[in-house]
Amino acid sequence: MFVARSIAADHKDLIHDVSFDFHGRRMATCSSDQSVKVWDKSESGDWHCTASWKTHSGSVWRVTWAHPEFGQVLASCSFDRTAAVWEEIVGESNDKLRGQSHWVKRTTLVDSRTSVTDVKFAPKHMGLMLATCSADGIVRIYEAPDVMNLSQWSLQHEISCKLSCSCISWNPSSSRAHSPMIAVGSDDSSPNAMAKVQIFEYNENTRKYAKAETLMTVTDPVHDIAFAPNLGRSFHILAIATKDVRIFTLKPVRKELTSSGGPTKFEIHIVAQFDNHNSQVWRVSWNITGTVLASSGDDGCVRLWKANYMDNWKCTGILKGNGSPVSGSSQQGNSNPSLGSNTPNLQHSLNGSSAGRYFFPPLDSPRAGSRWSSYAQLLPPPPLVEYSCDADTANLQYPHPRRRSLSRPLNPLPENEGV
C-alpha cells in the first residue's frame, strides 16, 4: 500500500465520513461544518471538488452513494435529526463551464426525533430503498417507487430496536437466495443494555421485517457493522466494530428444520476476534470482493484483515499516521513505482553488505549451445554496475514540514447534550 495522492479537503471542521462512488471515480465527504463536498477524478487522475453545499443544520455523520443505475444520488444523515437525499442535476447553466455540478435536495426524511446516525442504500436488486437508524432506537426503511422522481419517498417500515442505534448494514446477498436482511448495531452504554447487534429479515408473507437473530455475545457498545459481499457462499459474514474487531459467520439453518413461516434461524460462529486496536474500534468495512476487512480504531490506525487460503484471518496491513504535517501543496502525486518497496527485506538481502553481491548480471556473450544464446543477442552487455540501495526508500519523505495555519473552526454544536 502507498499514498498515491493527498488532497486538501478544505472542510471548515472535522470530516466524519468519506465515500467512494460505485466506480471509484467520484467521492463525497461530509463534515461537522454541515456541508457535503463532491469530488471528481479527472482523466489525468487529479481530484477536483465539483460541488460543496450546506446540507444540514448540524454535523453530517455519514454520506453514501446510491448505485449508478439510479443516477447520481447521495444520501446524508445528520445530528439535525434528518436524513436527506440529493440528486445531481445535469445543468444547462454555467456550472458545467466552471467545472461545477449542481446538487438539489430531493427529500428530507424527518421521521426521526433524534440524531440520525447512519444511512445506507439497500442492494440495488431491491429497488431504490434506503435505511436510516437513529439514536431513538428506530430503523426506518424508505422507498422511492419511481426512480425518476426522487422527491417521493415513502416510509415502508419502522423497526424498533429498543436501543439507541449507531449503525446499520444491508446484507448484499442476491434476492433469489436470501430474503432482504439488515443488521443493526447499538452503542448504548447504559449498564442494563445487553446484546448490541440485532439482525432483521424481511418476511414475504407478513411483508414485515422480523428479528431473525440477536448476537448475544456482543454486549459492549457497537460502533459499526458490515456484511461482506457474498461471493456465492451459502452463509453470511458479518464484521462488527466494538471494543475489538469481530468477524461472525451466519449459516442459515435449513428451513424445514425451523418452524415454517418464521424468520430464518442461523448458526452463528465467531471466526475472528482482534483487539489490536487496543481500545474502541469505530469503523469496519469490506473491500468490494469481501476478501479484506478494514477497521479503524482508537489507536489511530486502519488495519487490514485478510483470510489466507486456509481461512485463517490475519492482519496484513496497517495504515498509520506519521504524525508530521503535510507540506502545503493541495494535491500531491507520489507516483514512484517501486518493486517490492513495501518490504525492504529482500532489498537488504540483495544489496546488503554480505559478501558484496552483484545482482545485475551483465549478459553472457552468446555461447554456442548455451540455453541463453538466443536471448543473449538481444542486447549488448551493459556495463557492470554495483548497486547499493538505502533500506528506507519505501518511506515517503515529506520535505520541509510546515504546519498549515487553519481557518478558525465553527463553534461545535453541543452534540453530547441530550436531544
Partner 1 sequence: MEELDGEPTVTLIPGVNSKNKQMCFDWGPGEMLVCETSFKKGKSELVPGCPFIHIIRKDVDVYSQILRKLFNESHGIFVGLQRIEEELTGKSRKAQLVRVSKNYRSVIRACMEEMHQAAIAAKDASSSRQLSSQVSILSAMELIWNLCEILFIEVAPAGPLLLHLLDWVRLHICEVDSLLADVLGSENPSKHESFWKLVTILVLQGRLDEARQMLSKEADANPTSAGMCRILGDLMRTMPVLSPGNTQTLTELELKWQHWHEECERHLQDSTFASSPHLESLCKIMLGDEAALLEQKEHLNNWYHFLVTRLLYSHPTVKPTDLHFYAQSSLDLFLGGESSPEPLDNILMAAFEFDIHQVIKECSIALSNWWFVAHLTDLLDHCKLLQSHNLYFGSNMREFLLLEYASGLFAHHSLWQLGVDYFDYCPELGRVSLELHIERIPLSTEWKALKVLRICEQRQMTEQVRSVCKILAMKAVRNNRLGSALSWSIRAKDAAFATLVSDRFLRDYCEHGCFSDLDLIDNLGPAMMLSDRLTFLGKYREFHRLYGEKRFVDASFLLLSLMTSQIAPRSFWMTLLTDALPLLEQKQVIFSAEQTYELMRCLEDLTSGRPLCGEPDTQQLQDDDIEATKVEMLRLALARNLARAIIKEGSLEGS
Task: By CB under 8 A, name the one of 40, 47, 156, 251 that touches partner 1.
Answer: 47
- Burial of 95 (C-beta count, 10 Å sphere; 0-12/13-18/19+): middle
Number of residues that bind partner 1 (CB under 8 A): 132
Q: Indicate the residue among 105 and 124 with the shorter CB distance to partner 1.
A: 124
- Burial of 229 (C-beta count, 10 Å sphere; 0-12/13-18/19+): middle
Residue 242's CB: how many other CB atoms inside 10 A? Answer: 23
Q: Which of these ranges, 97-105, 106-114, 156-164, 374-382, lies near partner 1 under the rule CB under 8 A?
A: 374-382
Q: Indicate the residue among 39 and 153 with the shorter CB distance to partner 1.
A: 39
Q: Which of these ranges, 100-108, 214-222, 245-253, 310-318, lies near partner 1 under the rule CB under 8 A?
A: 310-318
Q: Which of these ranges, 62-70, 100-108, 157-165, 247-255, lies near partner 1 under the rule CB under 8 A?
A: 62-70
Q: Which of these ranges, 105-113, 197-205, 251-259, 296-304, lies near partner 1 under the rule CB under 8 A?
A: 296-304
Find the shortest distance in angstroms from Cβ 195 to partner 1: 22
Q: Does 8 bind partner 1 (CB under 8 A)?
A: yes
The single residue listed with the C-alpha cell 449459516 is: 251
Task: By CB under 8 A, name the one of 211, 234, 314, 377 that touches partner 1.
Answer: 314
Long-range pairs of 29-32 with CB within 8 A, sequence gap ≥ 24: 29/63, 30/55, 30/60, 30/61, 30/62, 30/63, 30/76, 31/59, 31/60, 32/59, 32/60, 32/410, 32/412, 32/413
Collect all residues with Cβ–Cβ distance below 8 Å to 358 and sequence separation of at least 6: 384, 386
Helix (H) or strand (E) holding 193: none
Q: Indicate the residue among 176 and 254 with the shorter CB distance to partner 1.
A: 176
Q: Indicate the residue among 74 and 212 with the shorter CB distance to partner 1.
A: 74
Dist CA 230 CA 236 (whole Å): 7
Dist CA 5 CA 182 (whole Å): 35
Q: Does 14 bind partner 1 (CB under 8 A)?
A: yes
- Which parts of 90-109 interact with partner 1 (CB under 8 A)? 90
Find the shortest distance in angstroms from Cβ 1 to partner 1: 4
φ, ψ of residue 195 in degrees (nearest 5): -65, 135
- Which parts of 226-255 interact with partner 1 (CB under 8 A)? 229, 231-232
Q: Does 110 bind partner 1 (CB under 8 A)?
A: no
Find the shortest distance in angstroms from Cβ 259 to partner 1: 32
78: left (phi over 0), alpha (psi -120 to 50) or beta: beta
- Which parts of 378-407 interact with partner 1 (CB under 8 A)? 378-379, 381-385, 387-390, 393, 395-396, 398, 404, 406
- C-alpha 19: how far from its chain's center? 7
Give the residue from 246, 251, 199 showing the smallest Cα distance to 223: 246
- Which parts of 252-291 interact with partner 1 (CB under 8 A)? 280, 282-283, 285-289, 291
Q: Does 319 bind partner 1 (CB under 8 A)?
A: yes
- Which parts of 153-172 interact with partner 1 (CB under 8 A)? none
Largest distance between two CA atoms of the chain: 87
Q: Does 32 bind partner 1 (CB under 8 A)?
A: yes
